[in-house]
Every structure is written in structure tokens, then in C-alpha cells.
Structure 1
Amino acid sequence: MNGVIGQVRQHERALLVSSGLLLLFGFLYALTVSPNAAARMGYDSTFSLALRQGGFALIGALAIAGASFLPATAVRRAGVLLFLGALVLLLVVLFAGHTEKGAQRWIRMAGFSLQPSELVKPALVIAMAWMLSAGVTQRRFPGVALALGLYGVTAALLVAQPDYGQTALLGMVLAAMLLTAGAPWRIFAAGAVAAGVGGVLAYNFSEHFRRRIDLFLDPDDKGGQVTKALEAMQSGGVLGRGPGEGIVKVSLPDAHADFVYAAATEEFGWLASLGFIGLYAAIAWFGLRRASRLVDPFQQFAASGLIFLFTLQAAIHVAVNAGAAPAKGLTLPLVSYGGSAMIGSALTIGLAFALLRERPGAFLHDRTHS
């Protein structure tokens, strides 16, 4: 029993330390990128962006801490309520949202902006986990069908913005959760066909989607953000140019958000960028390893789904920055600038931690069923 407790505490330390380091580095990098980004975004103070990011990081830390103490039943209840609220906000976005860069994704009021798609992601994972777990414990309950339905409703609202990146990310997370739940292979085959057909339709009928794909496929494009991101990563070398000394990042409009990995690599080098990857890999390894040993189906599906969501988003962000995937508008969890993105990422890892953390009496139960 002591060995099991030691293993779980190891998972706790890995998640806490990795998350804390990501929050810290996100703030430190905001200090170096703030002068250029603040001027470009119209802020009065040179370090306005860094101060705002510091506030976001504090909120994120509090969200992680608060969510991590919730019992599993409260996680499910909070997730479902958040999901319903986020769906309402996604509907509001369609009719009264703020449009930027060809997408209508934000709600602006009283000087603040909110991106509901960031909040719906962890909530959808929990709602789908509830359906899948009910399908496991109740023989005739259509858990897989309902989980697919929840994803379909959310995907429709996201595509209407349009936000194909979040739609694809949540689709991959759903596939991973279905695999964990032991769904039949015909579901995956049908999903692959649907994704392919959806991609073809989006390319033919959505200028926003087509432009992203064309920029990715055009090797001669020298002005796209992905090309600039590659230049930034190449110019950084092993040790980087130094904090605040990035040159290419100045011409990278989203160096503080969607392309923060490339901009940080230019200043801190390839070794630091590998350290980033190592932190996310640690969260994936320890989180999924612990989730695989949970007995309760809801806790297992929800915890693994949240870890998949957090780390898959990081992997896609890195892939986009490295030119291995089309630009999708996905931030680097806990690092990129943005309040909505920070809260969404913090809730994701905090709720996962709540389902994975040590609880009195849980270890004897785990051991007797393993």
C-alpha cells in the first residue's frame, strides 16, 4: 500500500511542478515580448502585456488549486454546468461576437474579452466522459451515441465561427476517449470518413479554412506566420539569442500567443524548447499512467480525456510552429498570452488533478481491483 501511495504522490509532484514551471515561464517570456507586443496591440505601457499575463497566471494558479480539491462528483457536476453555460456563450458569439482575423470568436464587454471556445473544451470532455461511463455501467444506455452527439453540437457551433482548430482538437480527444472506453472500430472508421468529408467541404466552401491550407502547402510563401516561425526557430540556435533579443519575433504578429513556442525558441534556444516539450511529456506520462489505474469509469475517462486535451493541444501548437501542420490558432497551454486560454488550460489541468490526486481510502480500493 505504501508503494501505491508513493506512486500517486509522484504523479502529484510531476503534475504540480510541470504546471508551475509552465506558468512561471509564460510570465517570464511575457516580460521579454511585452514591449513589441504591447506597442502592436495599442497598450500605453511597455510592460502592460507582461502585467496582464502575470494577472492571468495568478488566476490560472488559483483555478488549478481550487479545481484540484473538488471530489469526483463535484467535478462532474461543475463540468456539466460549465458545458451548458459555454454552449449558451457560443450561441451569443454567433449573434453578438467580435470578429477578428476573419473569425467571430470573442465576446467583448466593459474592456474585457472572453473566448467561450476555451471554456467549452474541458467541460465537453467531462460531459462526454459522463456519457461514456454511463454506457459502461448501464448496458442499454447509448453512451457512445450521446458522446458523439455532444461533440457534434459543439463542433457545429465552433465551425460556425469558424474555428476549425478547436474542432479538430476536440475530435482527436474524443477519438482517444472512445479508444479508452473500448468503442467498436466501426465508430473510428465512420469518424475518419466524416473528418475527411468535412475537410473537403471546408476547403471548398470556407475561405478561412482554404487560406490556412494553401499557406501550409505553398513552399514559396515567404510572408506567412509559419515561415516566420521557422526562421525564428532556426535563428535561435542551441542557446538562443537571449531574453528580449529576438529579431524575427518582431515581425511575427502572434509571437505572444499562437507562435509563442517559435518566438521563445529564438530567444532561449533549442535546449529550452526541448525542456518545454519535456514538461508536457511529463504531464502526459504521469497523468495517463495514473488514469489507467483508476477503477471508476467516469474518473478514468474524464481524467485521461483532460490530459489528452492538454497535451494534444501543446503537441499541435509545436507542430504548427515547426511547419508540420497548418496554422490552427491554438495556444500553448499555460504559456501563451490570453485570459480565456489561461483559464481554460488551468481548469483542464486542475480538474484532471482532482480526479488523479490522492484521496483517503482510494489506494486500498485501487489495489483490490487491480
Structure 2
Amino acid sequence: MLALSRTDTSTLGRWWWTVDRWTLVCIAMLIGFGYVLVLASSPAVAHRIGDPRDLLILKQVTFLALAGLIVVGVSMMTPKGIRWLALTGTLVALLLTAFTLVHGVEIKGARRWINIPFLSLQPSEFLKPFFAVVTAGLLVESRNAEKFPGRLLAIMLYGLIALLLKTQPDIGMLAVISIVFLAQLFLDGLNLALVGISAGGLVVSFIAAFFLMPHVHVRVERFLHPTEQTAYQALTALQAFGNGGLLGRGPGEGMVKDILPDAHADFVFAVAGEEFGLVVCLFILGIFAAIVLRGLVRLVAENDQFVLLASAGLLISFGLQAFVNMASSLELIPTKGMTLPFISYGGSSALSVAVEMGMLLALTRRRFTSDRS
């Protein structure tokens, strides 16, 4: 812990004594696990794809260092600053996501990435946190200004994002954003019957996607009827958890990273299971649960509607992303290319989650009334 006096009125001192330090510690532990698991999984992946042995490690170490700085930097901002950051970020992320449809890099049938030096940028990753905050602002403004169509604008923005994500396609990302948006509408006081109708509409939409979108149909069929040929990664990940047992085979002793194509990214949780065992996997799960539950408990006494809606959206997005990754690795749901926050390899993921957690810490800092601008 930093040795700062409670009477320290510097920017750093005021930040340290107002930020949620336990959540900050949990984030630091996740980044620490990210370092450990990238060291375990990346060399074998780099060898397989023909990259220098330490290239992926060096890139991810850089991404995680930047992520840590972003968490701290963004968490020092005021709620007003967070609003402007989210609005600007949403506009930029929307433009770049639309750009991927024209000049994006196609991987496994989807156009979600833009190649820039040292990084394949996935702009839609940044839509999750920014959209949650912008939606909160629009919903609050519709309450404060009677004639301001905040809810309608939020629905229109969601529709635009849904269209872009469906076109890429990225149904998993769309599902997360849809659930976050629906939860925010519910917290804002949307009639329970309308919430039920909206939820039913989501279910119908995903059933339609199963029948009308070939890649969705294939993934669900592979989940329902897995074979060594059609669900190789998922079944191999399950074997890794079995190999690890309670305490794991030991650091560097796992075999799954040598044969699993996405061992450093979507299936990094399987690497943790094989090398460090069930105990460490449950500890990682506990860290994610602690961040989400602690955040939700702190919101129970929150009087600022914007902070409540924005923070709830950020927490739900963060928790859902972690759940989807871990559940996919355990073959509990169909596989989805969604990273484990701060732990999976990926620059876009690390930086977007850092912004997400930085905004959460900024919004939930203890403030006097004069500090809320």
C-alpha cells in the first residue's frame, strides 16, 4: 500500500483515500495472473505460428503495463470527465467498427479487426464500456429534462451498434451489450412487463440467429454434439482441467498449451487449470466475483442515478465477459471468442477492460458534493 497521509491534499493523495482500494487490489491480482499465464502459454503458441519465442510475451507485458496505467489514470477523473470520455470514445469506436466492415481484417469469417503496428485493434471491444456510460447519461437526462428524448436516443444508439455487430458478425458481443442495456433500462424504472417483452425478444432473436446464421448454427451444433473433429479445442480444454486436478501439474508442466491453438487467448483458463489446478481456478473465479459483488453492494447506497446506472452497466459487462470465457472453457456454453479480462492475451481486450475498470473506480470514489462535477 502507498504510504500517503490522510491529510495529503495532492491529486494522488486525494485519489488514494477516495478510491475503492480493495477493487484496485483485485484488479492488480488479475493483471498478475495475466503475466504468469502469458509466460506459461505464449512461447508454445509463438513457436506454432512462427513468431519469435518471446514476442507475444513482450507484447502482452506491454499491454498489461499500459492497462495498469490506464486503470489508475482514468480512475482519477471526475464523473463529468467520464461522461465526456465515454461520449468521445463511443463516437470513435462506432466509426472504427464501421470501418472494419470495409477495410477490416477477416479472421474465421468475421471482420472485427484493424491492423495497426504491433496490434490488431478490435474497436467493438471499446463499445462495451463506453456504451454503458453513454446510455446511463441519456437515461438520466431524459428524467431531468422532460422533453429530452434520452431513452429514445439510447434505443437508437443500441440499434446502430446491434446492426454493426450483426454485420461483422459478432453475436457474442451483441449478446453482452444487449443484456447490459436491458439491465440498465430495468434499473431506470422500465415497466416490468416491457422488460419481459424485451427479454423475450432477445431470446427470439438468438433462436432466429441459430436458424438463419450459419456460423451460429455450427457453433451451437458443435456444443450440443461435440466430437474430436468439430469441438477439438473445447474437449481438449476439458482434458486439461482433468489433468490439473486439485493442485495442478506445476508451472510450465502443462501439455495443453502445446496442442491448443487458442491456449493463450480464449482458452487461457484451461492452461491455469492444468498447471495450477482447481484451487487457483477457484481463486481466479473468486477475484472476478469479488469485484462484481463488491461493486454492486457499494451501489445499494448510491443516490446519484447516473453513477448507479453507469456503474451497474460496467459491472454487468465485466462479469458477463469473465463468465462467457470461463464457461466456454468448461464446455458449459457454446464456444465464443471472448477473452478473460486482464488474463487472456490481447491488446484490445486488455486496454478496453482497463478503461472499463478505470471508469468504474472513478464513478464509485467517495466524493464531497463539490467534487462531483
Provide the TM-score with structure 2 as the length reference: 0.90
Q: Distance in 1 between matches of 2:250 and 2:17?
A: 36
- For 1:127, the equivalent position in structure 2 comes to 134
Q: Note the residue ranges of structure 1 that are not aligned, 5 or more in a row.
A: 3-7, 366-370
Change in CA separation of 1:115 and 1:209 when aligned onto 2, cut-off 3 Å: same
Give the structure 2 partner of residue 307 of structure 1.
Answer: 315
Report the counterpart of residue 20 of structure 2 in structure 1: 12
1:239 aligns with 2:247: yes
Aligned mate of 2:283, from 275, 278, 282: 275
Counterpart in the other structure of 1:22: 30
* Residue number in structure 2 paired with 1:5: none
Q: Which amino acid aligns with 2:340?
A: L
| Number of positions where the alignment pairs a residue of Structure 1 with one of Structure 2 | 357
Query: Judging changes above 3 Å, is the alpha-carbon distance between structure 1 residues 21 and 235 closer, same or farther for their aligned structure 2 residues?
Result: same
CA contact (8 A) 2:257 2:264 kept: no
Q: Which residue of 2 aligns with 1:41?
A: 49
1:359 aligns with 2:367: yes
Q: Go from structure 1 to structure 2 and tell me whether the alpha carbon gap of 1:205 and 1:243 turns closer, same or farther (over 3 Å shift).
A: same
- Counterpart of 1:277 in structure 2: which amino acid? L
1:85-164 matches, within 5 Å, as 85-164=92-171
Q: 1:205 aligns with which of 212, 233, 246?
A: 212
**1:140 Cα offset (Å):** 4.7
Secondary structure class of the residue paired with 1:99: strand
Report if aligned partners of 2:119, 2:347 keep a CA contact under 8 Å in 1: no
Instruction: Using the TM superposition, give the Cα deviation of residue 260 of structure 1 relative to its aligned residue in structure 2, in angstroms.
Output: 1.1
The CA deviation at 1:9 is 6.5
Amino acid of the residue matched to residue 180 of structure 1? L
2:215 alignment partner AA: H
| Secondary structure, aligned partner of 1:327 | coil
Task: Give, in whole Å, the separation in 2 of the partners of 1:72 and 1:110.
Answer: 33
Partner of 2:299: 291
1:264 counterpart residue number: 272
Cα distance in structure 1, aligned partners of 2:79 and 2:304: 10
Residue pairs, 1:182-193, within 5 angstroms: 182-193=189-200
Shift of 1:229: 1.4
Distance 1:185 1:250 in 2: 50
- SS of 1:105's partner is strand
- 1:70 corresponds to which residue? 77
Q: How many Å apart are 1:10 and its aligned residue? A: 9.6
Where 1:106 maps in the other structure, the secondary structure is: strand
**1:181 maps onto 2:195 in alignment:** no
Which one is further off, 317-326 or 344-353? 317-326
1:337 aligns with 2:345: yes
The residue that corresponds to 2:222 in the other structure is 215
1:53 partnered with 2:60: yes
Separation of aligned partners in 2, 1:309 and 1:166: 10
In structure 2, the residue matched to 1:230 is 238
RMSD: 2.1
Identical-residue share of aligned pairs (%):
38
Q: Distance in 2 between matches of 1:292 and 1:308?
A: 15
SS of structure 1 residue aligned to 2:20: helix
Q: Which secondary structure state, in structure 2, belongs to the residue aligned with residue 333 of structure 1?
A: coil
TM-score, scaled to structure 1: 0.91
Residues 128 and 286 of structure 1, relative CA distance in 2, 3 Å threshold: same
